[in-house]
A and B are shown apart, each in its own frame.
Chain A
Amino acid sequence: DIQMTQSPSSLSASVGDRVTISCRASQGIGSYLNWYQQKPGKAPKLLIYAATSLQSGIASRFSGSGSGTDFTLTISSLQPEDFATYYCQQSYTTLITFGQGTRLEI
């Protein structure tokens, strides 16, 4: 199975900060990388798909970059509603795997 490793596991930031979350795959996955946001007690929400494509309805302060094994989710200017846990997911293989999550705290 392809292992997905996110860093950091948790992150403290302030409103207005620029934040980056990294995700590394154990082998090359091309652009088969998606990012999700999850708030407590809620289902995950798709933010970015195909490594760089912004999902419809998602604020433009979210962006994704990378290909192969190294990927980044960037939030350009943190808003109060962005404090949540973020997960990367590889869909290169049929056996889908998620990163362990990055908790973004105030």
Chain B
Amino acid sequence: EVLLVESGGGLVQPGGSLRLSCAASGFTFSSYVMNWVRQAPGKGLEWVSLISASGDYSYYADSMKGRFTISRDNSKNTLHLQMSSLRAEDTAVYYCARSLPQFAQYESWGQGTLVTVSS
């Protein structure tokens, strides 16, 4: 069974930093593109970032570029999202998701971790 478990969320002040993690199990982690998607309270889904299976390349939504860094440790089956210069509008539940080849459908999701940016 594919299992994705996020951690690292919490309360952080504006301008602060936070590192999210996603522990993966039940599949060959190093074979899949992984993603972060977020959802602000009461709002829709917003794609954040993706990283290739090997970790060689990554992409970001424009509003996160330069502030967020996605990474992965295939030896530990773990995905990370380093977030800095956080703003109130970054407050959201952050989900990690596994995407499948060809159509990049997000077939498995974690339960999410809440990040609250507030003074």
Contact = CB atoms under 8 A, between A and B. Distances in A.
A32 to B, nearest CB: 6
Residue among A44, A99, A101 having the largest count of chain B Cβ atoms under 10 Å = A44
B62 A1 contact: yes
Contacts, number: 62
Contacts of B110: 43
Contacts of A34: 103-106
Which interface class (under 10, 10 to 19, 20 to 34, 35 or more) fits A?
A: 20 to 34
Interface string A66-104: 000000000000000000000101010011111111000
Interface of B: 35, 44-47, 50, 59, 61-62, 95, 99-100, 102-107, 109-112
Interface of A: 1, 31-32, 34, 36, 38, 43-46, 49-50, 55, 87, 89, 91, 94-101
